[in-house]
Amino acid sequence: MKGPLGPLLWAQYRSFVNRLPQLWRGGSWAMAAIGVLFYGVVTLIAVAAGFFCAHPPSPDSLAGALARGLLLATLYWQVIPLALSAHGVSLDLKRLRAFPIPRGSLFRLELALRSSASPEPIIVLVGAAVGLSLNPGLDWRAPLAIVLLIGWNLLASLLARELMSRLWERTWAQLTLMLALVSLAALPRLITTFEPSKRMMAAFRLVANIPWPWKIAAQIASGHYSLDRWGWLGLWCAAALWLAHREFYRGLNREESMARRAGRARQAGLLDSLAELAARSLGDPLAALLEKEIRSLLRSPRFLLAFLMGFTFSIVIFVPPGLLRGNSGDSFLSRNYLSIVAIYSVLLLGQVLFWNCLGFDRAGAALYFVSPARIGTAIAAKNLAAVLFLLLEISLVAVVCAMLRLPFTLLACAECYAATIVLILYLLAAGNLVSVSRPWPQDPGAMFRSSTGVKMQPLLLLVAPIVFVPVALAYLARYAFSSEAAFFLVLGAGAVIGLVFYGIAMESAVATACRTRETITSLLSESSGPVS
């Protein structure tokens, strides 16, 4: 690549290659095998799509299959990264501003990097395009429509990322986005449960008649080369290019507005009150550290996203199917609905509260090793803040379930609190050990950047099921003896063992942190470079 971006990309590539031996030694070979298997299946789907497009049973079957396939690929391309908060490789514009890079080069590079957000549909669409080029009944214009649709999706992905990043700076937009995610998760169940009215059917037909880009591309790719279809597809691509270009450069020079700073200033008093209230009964330095944790978490978009999803998204995806038809039934999900939702909500907050409790501090974690306060006090403050937020999360889940008349009883509420509190105890104990043995830096303000430590994934897959054993034994005891007393008795025994385990784990974590403090501060100070 010509220009100043070539050395930057080469440096990023070399840093990734140099880390590969460490990643393999860290046990990520299992994740690499899973990735090879997954993309092997995607490649097989691409080959099947290419074979079908090259030798379709009939022209009509090709047109219908392309329409459905291109719609599915577009939905996967645009929705999956949003739902998983994963936007692939991206430019860190703050780091690149120091280099004399032409603005046009930044846009082209960012557009090219959008392919990493959803490479799966690109592989499948390329396979379909190759198949269309080998179809004797079609000419070069058929695969060109697929190529234009790939370009449109790249532009739409870049536009969606810029708009989402900007909207997330506003509180009302955060709530709106969460409601949209909840509605998206509930949509399949609503479609299969409720019969639409005549007006709704008319609205659906109106939407279906819009010349969407995937619909036009499918018609062109199946051999219908009319001028108006090319015009519509070109118009869609031109509109996406103009909007993506404009929003990218708006984001390039975007600064925090005065209204946003004023809003934060107004919220500061409330945040201070909440933090001081939680730490009032504690003495310094624990109280000061707890106050700091509460304030920093409440200002972290990544934490707020996981916290909001806990009592919204989690409730929707676990709704018993029979409940939508007015019959909740007597299934395990219906009887233990509140506990299941609460446990899932706790797990959603795992990376930000206990699996990597030092991650948000990054280089600032070095202060814990040089200040008069012990590192154990800092970890204890983080654990206390986690307990406060997790209990608040569970309470919000219970309140929302009661308001929506979902399966809720006082006994179920007591079971929910007992089971999740015991689980939290084990999660914090295991999380303290993991946090000091495999720390990785996290950006609390970057909601859309994936920051899961690669070395951590196999370890979490191993540790996570183990911490569920005490809670699982309690439910097995209730099933075996058909007694709530057995359930709470086993949970009580699990809580006692958990307290002992927490104390031992805390001592071990403090000793490990003191012994490997240089390694911890070095790992937390690492940066992913200008392209992350």
Residue 350 CA to residue 360 CA, distance in Å, equals 13
Residue 70 CA to residue 125 CA, distance in Å, equals 8
Task: Supply the pLDDT for residue 482.
Answer: 86
- Please say if the pLDDT value at position 251 is more than 80: no
Residue 262 CA to residue 511 CA, distance in Å, equals 44
Burial class (CB within 10 angstroms; exposed 0-12, middle 13-18, buried 19+) of 195: exposed
Token readout for 402 is: 């009661």
Residue 32 CA to residue 455 CA, distance in Å, equals 11
Confidence band for 1, pLDDT divided at 50, 70 and 90: low
- Please say if the pLDDT value at position 21 is more than 50: yes
For residues 126-133, average pLDDT: 92
Q: What is the pTM of this model?
A: 0.58
Torsional class of 85: left (φ above 0), alpha (ψ -120 to 50), beta (otherwise): left
Provide CB contacts within 8 A for 313, sequence distance 6+. 178, 181, 182, 185
Least Cα distance to 428 among 507, 355, 492 occurs for 355
Task: Supply the pLDDT for residue 257.
Answer: 43
Task: Supply the pLDDT for residue 444.
Answer: 74
Residue 180 CA to residue 84 CA, distance in Å, equals 14
pLDDT, tens only, 61-118: 888 889 889 989 888 888 766 655 555 555 566 566 666 677 667 787 777 777 766 7
Least Cα distance to 113 among 93, 84, 143 occurs for 93
Task: Supply the pLDDT for residue 425.
Answer: 92
Cβ contact 74:150 at 8 Å: no
For residues 139-143, average pLDDT: 88
- Please say if the pLDDT value at position 428 is more than 80: yes
Provide CB contacts within 8 A for 74, sequence distance 6+. 121, 149, 153, 213, 214
Residue 121 CA to residue 515 CA, distance in Å, equals 47
Could you write out the DSSP letters of every residue in 94-142?
HHHTTS---HHHHHHHHHHHGGGT-HHHHHHHHHHHHHHHH-TT--THH
Question: DSSP code of 321?
Answer: G
Region of poorest pLDDT, from 181-185, 464-468, 498-502, 524-528? 181-185
Q: Where would I find the H helices in 209-255?
A: 213-221, 227-252
Least Cα distance to 157 among 127, 109, 103, 115 occurs for 115
CA dihedral 44, 50, 52, 54 (to 10 degrees): -150
pLDDT, tens only, 188-242: 555 554 555 677 677 777 877 888 899 999 989 988 888 889 999 999 999 999 9
Task: Supply the pLDDT for residue 450.
Answer: 47
Sign of CA dihedral 160, 166, 172, 175: positive
Token readout for 342 is: 């609460």
For residues 35-47, average pLDDT: 88
Task: Supply the pLDDT for residue 234.
Answer: 92
